[in-house]
Structure 1
Amino acid sequence: MRVIVIGAGLGGLALASGLRRAGLDVAVYERDPRPLIRRQGYRLHLSDVGIDALTSVMTPERWAEFQATTYTPEPRFVRLDPALEVLEILELGGRHLSIDRRTLREALKAEVAGMVTFGKRLTGFESWADRVTARFDDGSTVTGEVLVGADGINSVVRRQYLPHARIAGTGLIQLYGKIPSEQAEGMGNVFTAITGPGHRMVGVAPTRDYATCSFGARAEDLPPDLHLMCQERLRATVTELTDGWHPLIQKMIAAWREIFPLTLRTSVPIPPWKTTRVTLLGDAAHAMSPAAGAGANLAMRDAAALAAALIRGGPLIPALRAYEQEMIDLGFAAVRISAANGARVLGQAPLPAG
């Protein structure tokens, strides 16, 4: 059986890694001409779900190498006000790792060396009873028994396969960047959110080598040309929007670097669909706002679960149907939780009706 994976993000690479370990024929096609061309964020949070998934798809040696690059935060979410007074503490329990997105992607890419082709933009696919053919914008095609859309929130696979599935705006924009670890002293939690008036938020989370620092606000409260601003203007904009906040916050913003803005969007949950040889995982199926810290963990879970379903063998469609039922249930439940958390803390717009 040949598995075609569209998208060399974390979910697609994790799936390919799991399939390769079992000796299955897998090929990954990525639209970007080379790795690391797009800015997608820095630090990611792994919980038990993501940790278990990664350990099942990576070789023990690669996992040990990667784990040595991680940071173990205090297992809690803390919310502070602009004076750094505690508003909320949520004890999380379980295992937690703070990781660098690029480091994880490189580790997964090393696991599937030679199986990823860059610069291949999918334009569509044709599905038959016994095979699927993917078409690319250079005129080439590839045929296999399963096609997996792991191509993110703008998934070409999803647009053709589930044209009724919707992506909605959250009304929020987040600016991501890094600060030196010492600037985040006392904020070694899974996540520390400093929330102020107008749903403005500064988020801090450490990794082994730096701390990620983000600023979120309603889109209407931010200048429309953020994507055109230099680093100095972005820092100045956030400094103005956090005027009067604790001096430690101002020091963090002054030390902020590698900043970029991202408009936050979310999937709108839909009912289960008829299972075929085409399926989805991660953000291609259930993109969500970061307000629950669940997106990366569920992408890893999807990858591990789909790999296990394909590795077990047996009739293909029932195996894919069982994977999809769980993926849909867990994924859209997390979409709803993220939306509710985002509305409460960040002013996220309500989810539209499906």
Structure 2
Amino acid sequence: MRVLVVGAGIGGLAVANGLVEQGHDVQVFEHAEALRDGGAAVTVWSNGTAALRDLGVSLDGVGRELHSLRSVTESGRLLWEADLDAVTERLGSPTVEIPRRTLIARLAEALPAEVLHFGRRCTGVTEFEDGVVVRFDDGTVATGDLVIGADGQRSAVRRSVLGGPPAKLTGWASWQGLTRSDLPIAHGSRTLNIAGRNGHAGLIPAGDGLLHWWFDMPWREGDPELSVADLRAAFRGWPEPVEELLSSVTDDDLGFFPHIRHQVPRVWGGPRSTLLGDAVHAMPPAVAQAANQTLEDAWLLSLLLPNIAGVSADPEPMLRTYEQERRPRAVKVSRTAALTSAQRSTPLQRLGRFPKWVATRSQVVSLRSGSNVLQALAPQVKVA
């Protein structure tokens, strides 16, 4: 099949890798003039690295493999510590913190050069009985057998095929960065989360002396964006090494990201369209699962869309199966993220169980281990 993917972020590139491997003619269209390598770092949990492994993308030699998570209160009292090695053993893949630009590069370099098209902003999608047309703002069009909207929280594909409201602000925001650091935590393998009554902070090593750090606080539309000086005042007296970190960074290091959440629809597309990632289930970053759920989307969609030329001209049954399988998982994780984002201090005390929660609910592992289930979903799929 000729598959049109709108968006060259993590989800679009991941699903393109899986579909190219299946033998499809894949074309990825990105509105930017080059790969978007902004942002700080991504925590790729074991469910995400398992999905990447099956998509043929290795994280060997990049980022930092994590072995434990530690959470304390703003007074320094221990809330919990979680062992990630047990999760790695159970799922067969590690948790890795990786700069977003590095992950994007890894995903892109695995694709044939002719797959990627830049400077093509989608303005609409029209589906026909025998194909689909994607329109771009430069007046050009692309035709194919189906389209996948991987174009983020403001998805043009979602607006065109589903309509409905955009993602909503949750009332919180993150100020974050990725900087080189001499702090010991930047050279270890443990992340530190600090929960306070009015905010939250996190520090996590990302490899090569890079430290991913973030500060979450209540924020509503119209409120000013904070500066590093504002963060120093708000987080004064917090446990080490918060103050030392904030003394070493500048406003140029600071990225601002309001938290949002989508209403996840029951159906994600039309007869020749579907969505993945933030285009369909954008969620707050509180449990670091947005990218991982996107990777699970890409993994399952790739498996359920084998090259069906000569088998079936109608992709809709497999598109709807993908959505029915993924929606309950995505909704559950989104709810957990929203609860944790809105009520920092109490849910973070329970979040120590989250690694185990991920391990028992990874769709990659559960479907792979129950290969008969996967075969029932898509009889043409060969389970490794």
1:293-318 per-position Cα deviation (integer Å, ceiling 9, x unaligned)? 11111111111111111125344222
| Contact 1:179 1:255 survives alignment (8 Å) | no
Mark the CA change 1:346 to 1:81 in structure 2 (over 3 Å): closer, same or farther.
closer
**Identical columns (%):** 30
Equivalent residue, structure 1, for 2:28: 28
Residue among 69, 75, 81 paired with 1:83 = 75
Mark the CA change 1:299 to 1:46 in structure 2 (over 3 Å): closer, same or farther.
same
Where in structure 1 are there 5+ consecutive unaligned residues?
A: 227-233, 349-354
| Contact 1:177 1:260 survives alignment (8 Å) | yes
Task: In structure 2, give the amino acid aligned to 1:252.
Answer: L
1:179-228 per-position Cα deviation (integer Å, ceiling 9, x unaligned)? 43432539956642212232x111111111211011110016996144xx
- Determine the C-alpha separation between the residues in 1 that align with 2:8 and 2:16: 9
Greater CA deviation, 283-292 or 320-329?
Answer: 320-329
SS at match of 1:217: strand
- Determine the C-alpha separation between the residues in 1 that align with 2:221 and 2:71: 22
Mark the CA change 1:289 to 1:214 in structure 2 (over 3 Å): closer, same or farther.
same
Equivalent residue, structure 1, for 2:41: 43
Correspondence 1:4 to 2:7: no
> How big is the alpha-carbon RMSD for the aligned residues of Structure 1 and Structure 2?
2.4
1:154-193 to 2 correspondences below 5 Å: 154-185=154-185, 188=188, 191-193=191-193
Correspondence 1:17 to 2:9: no
Equivalent residue, structure 2, for 1:308: 303
SS at match of 1:163: coil
Mark the CA change 1:28 to 1:151 in structure 2 (over 3 Å): closer, same or farther.
same
| Contact 1:275 1:321 survives alignment (8 Å) | no
1:1-354 to 2 correspondences below 5 Å: 1-36=1-36, 39=38, 41-58=39-56, 63=58, 66-76=59-69, 78-92=70-84, 93-95=86-88, 96-112=95-111, 113-185=113-185, 188=188, 191-198=191-198, 200-209=199-208, 210-219=210-219, 224-226=224-226, 234-246=227-239, 248-257=241-250, 258-272=253-267, 275-311=270-306, 313=308, 314-315=311-312, 316-345=315-344
Q: TM-score, normalised by structure 2?
A: 0.80
Equivalent residue, structure 2, for 1:351: none
Greater CA deviation, 182-191 or 213-222?
Answer: 182-191
- Determine the C-alpha separation between the residues in 1 that align with 2:145 and 2:175: 41
SS at match of 2:335: helix
Task: In structure 1, give the amino acid aligned to 2:36.
Answer: L
| Contact 1:7 1:30 survives alignment (8 Å) | yes
SS at match of 1:292: coil
- Determine the C-alpha separation between the residues in 1 that align with 2:291 and 2:276: 11
- Determine the C-alpha separation between the residues in 1 that align with 2:346 and 2:114: 44
| Contact 1:174 1:263 survives alignment (8 Å) | yes
1:118-147 per-position Cα deviation (integer Å, ceiling 9, x unaligned)? 110000011011100000000000100010
Q: TM-score, normalised by structure 1?
A: 0.87
| Contact 1:47 1:94 survives alignment (8 Å) | no
Greater CA deviation, 319-328 or 80-89?
Answer: 80-89
| Contact 1:5 1:148 survives alignment (8 Å) | yes
- Determine the C-alpha separation between the residues in 1 that align with 2:269 and 2:230: 48
- Determine the C-alpha separation between the residues in 2 that align with 1:334 and 1:192: 21
Q: How far off is 1:36 after superposition? A: 2.8
- Determine the C-alpha separation between the residues in 1 that align with 2:107 and 2:269: 31
- Determine the C-alpha separation between the residues in 1 that align with 2:222 and 2:137: 37
